[in-house]
Amino acid sequence: MDNYASVLQVTDRLNIFGYLGNSLAAALIGTTLALVLALPAAFAIARGGIGRRLLMPAIVNLRAVPLIIFAIPLYMMFQWLGLLDTQIGLGLILTIVNLPLALVILVNAISDLPLELDEAARIDGANTFQILAQVIAPVCRPAIVTSFIFGFITAWNEFLFGLMLTTSKAVPMTVGASFFFAASGGGVQWGLASAVMIVGALPPMLLGLIMYKQISGSMTAGAVKG
């Protein structure tokens, strides 16, 4: 308990609550914005075939590229835009990181829906935006929730861009946790390190436990038809 007390104590150099807040804000921005972009794109790909051959493979394969190769150009761009060491800047990068997975999940979910839903809505006078917002989105809610959870966990665990693009004001939990490992300058204090890692892992773990039913429902959706 002494280790937890030391971790939760706020000092001029170490502030775990600030790190947690930065990670929460950046993860929410990166996850929410990725879903806002992925949902209409997935609808266009699944229903209209727009970008199925070129756009979707390009976005998905972008996630397989080592992110370190983008480090220098992104740093220079963010420096020019004044986004270094900001929660918004980190959130924008996390949006790019989360977009491929969200797009794949939502494209598959929308593709499993019958076209009769769209046709019935159009007969009732709904336009494309209304079909997406009032028909597709509610039916795909398990997939959207799953994309949000996976995206949030991925954004929360991001270390590279948090280390590269932040210095003091927007330091995320993954980077801030490393400051505790040698807080007193006497080498790694494993008790303190274990405490800060557990505290940092609690938010995504609790989110996954709370939303477990939504994740399992999305994974089994479409497995049985009839």
Is 84 in contact with 164 (CB distance < 8 Å)?
A: no
Collapsing DSSP to helix, strand or coil, 134 comes out as helix
Of the two residues 204 and 214, the one the predictor is more confident about is: 204
Q: Indicate the range of 15-19, 166-170, 172-176, 190-194 predicted with least confidence.
A: 190-194
* Predicted local confidence at residue 223, as pLDDT: 42
Task: State yes or no: pLDDT of 182 exceeds 90.
Answer: no
Q: pLDDT-derived band of residue 209, with 50, 70 and 90 as boundaries?
A: confident
Q: Is residue 186 part of a domain?
A: yes
pLDDT, tens digit (0-9, with 9 covering 90-100), for 13-31: 788 899 999 999 999 999 9
Q: Mean pLDDT across the stretch 119-140?
A: 89
**Residue 89 maps to which CATH number?**
1.10.3720.10
Tell me whether residue 225 is in a domain. Answer: no
Lowest mean pLDDT among 102-106, 143-147, 149-153, 176-180: 176-180
> What is the mean predicted confidence (pLDDT) over 168-176?
90
226 in a structural domain: no
Q: What is the pLDDT of residue 224?
A: 41
Q: Is residue 117 part of a domain?
A: yes
Total domains, the chain: 1
Range of the domain at 72: 2-220
pLDDT band at 217; cut points 50, 70, 90: low
Label residue 219 by pLDDT band (50, 70, 90): low
Q: Which residue has the tokens 């150099």?
A: 13
In a domain, 125, yes or no: yes
63-88 per-position pLDDT tens digit: 788 888 888 898 999 999 999 999 99
Q: What is the DSSP letter of 12?
A: S
For 183-195, what is the mean pLDDT? 73
Predicted pLDDT at 215? 66
Two tokens, residue 77: 């761009």
pTM: 0.86
Burial of 160 (C-beta count, 10 Å sphere; 0-12/13-18/19+): middle
Look at residue 33 in the predicted model and tell me its pLDDT.
Answer: 96
Q: How far is CA 174 from the centre of its chain?
A: 14
